[in-house]
Amino acid sequence: MNYSRIIAGTMSWGSWGKQFNTNDMISQINTCLEAGITSFDHADIYGGYTTEADFGAAFKQTRIARSAIQLISKCGIAYVSPNRSNIIKHYNYSKEYIITSVENSLRNLETDYLDVLLLHRPSPLMHPCEIMEAIAKLGQEGKIKSFGVSNFTPSQVELIASEVPIEINQIEFSLTQNSALHDGTLDQMITKKITPMAWSPLGIVFKEDSEQTRRIHNCLGGLLDKYDATEDQLLLAWILKHPANIHPVIGTTNTQRIKDAISALKINLELEDWFSILVASKGHKVP
């Protein structure tokens, strides 16, 4: 399965963020496609279970061929929302819940299939055999093309993979949240040929003012002219250099930042520059 190297995250498109109307959604979809982003990351819970339907209605009006894009969605979090009867946030990976969730997503997105279904977060009560039964049925019916997980540790990946092959693990990964470099997560994805996707790829660099972020800004500032790049492009280039072939999921809806993200694909950081950026984040030399 081919995905655009940069993926558009839709979490903030609806009521959880920009509150786009249908025309706004159409414009945003076209902006992404014009930039070269063809993969769109969803979850059933986004917008309190409303964003998928908003996107689906907008995409239908674009008359863009379904085969021209890739739709990723997630299920498993039972979220407290006016649109659900849940009294507490929890996880549900029963066969029936997974199947019903996917069928709801298909209906809301107005599509016959998902290119990717991800289990949104691990549950302490999940069982690989029950998950396998749901995924097998959905696959046989052509409702999902690929299967993966999100926010799973290596041992949790192995648990599910004992019954059903995992093709993708979408994790939080950035310069400032880089535990996947050291805890075996990215190592596993290379050895098992699992595609990594990274949400929040810019981390806290532009969100917090701390000793760490000041070190990072100082380091990136010294590289801007060398690479003719912006700081956010360098942060993405740092992720893109990893041999696991990570696909950043960007949340921005700003047209220029979307174009900048695509331009980051052309930046090949020199080895010592890559490590200098890592050291700036860590605050000490590598061991």
DSSP single-letter state for residue 177: S
Question: Helices 255-263 & 22-35, crossing angle to 10 degrees?
Answer: 20
Read off the pTM.
Answer: 0.97
**Mean predicted confidence (pLDDT) in 115-119:** 98
Residue 238 domain-assigned?
no
- Judge whether 29 and 57 are in contact, CB under 8 Å: no
Active site (catalytic) residues = 46
Residue 29 domain-assigned?
yes
**Mean predicted confidence (pLDDT) in 123-141:** 98
The CATH number for 95's domain is 3.20.20.100
Predicted confidence (pLDDT) per residue in 151-171, tens digit: 999 999 999 999 999 999 999
Which H or E run contains 250?
strand 247-250
Q: What is the pLDDT of residue 83?
A: 84
- Judge whether 102 and 144 are in contact, CB under 8 Å: yes
The pair phi, psi for residue 218, each rounded to 5°, is -65, -40
Residue 157 domain-assigned?
yes
Residue 40 domain-assigned?
yes
Predicted confidence (pLDDT) per residue in 86-103, tens digit: 999 999 999 999 999 999
Cα separation, 81 vs 217, whole angstroms: 39
Predicted confidence (pLDDT) per residue in 173-215, tens digit: 999 999 999 999 999 999 999 999 999 999 999 999 999 999 9
How many CB atoms within 10 Å of residue 18?
13
Number of domains in the chain: 1
**Mean predicted confidence (pLDDT) in 6-15:** 98
Residue 267 domain-assigned?
no
Phi/psi region, residue 41 (left: phi>0; alpha: psi -120 to 50; beta: rest), is beta
Residue 255 domain-assigned?
no
Residue 55 domain-assigned?
yes
Residue 24 domain-assigned?
yes
Predicted confidence (pLDDT) per residue in 26-49, tens digit: 999 999 999 999 999 999 999 999
Cα separation, 136 vs 207, whole angstroms: 41
Tokens representing 243 are 């041999």
Tokens representing 184 are 């075996």
**What is the three-class DSSP state of 77?**
strand
Could you list the residue range(s) of the whole structural domain that residue 49 is in? 7-172
Name residues whose C-beta falls within 8 Å of residue 32's C-beta, 6 or more positions apart in sequence.
8, 38, 40, 258
**What is the three-class DSSP state of 173?**
coil
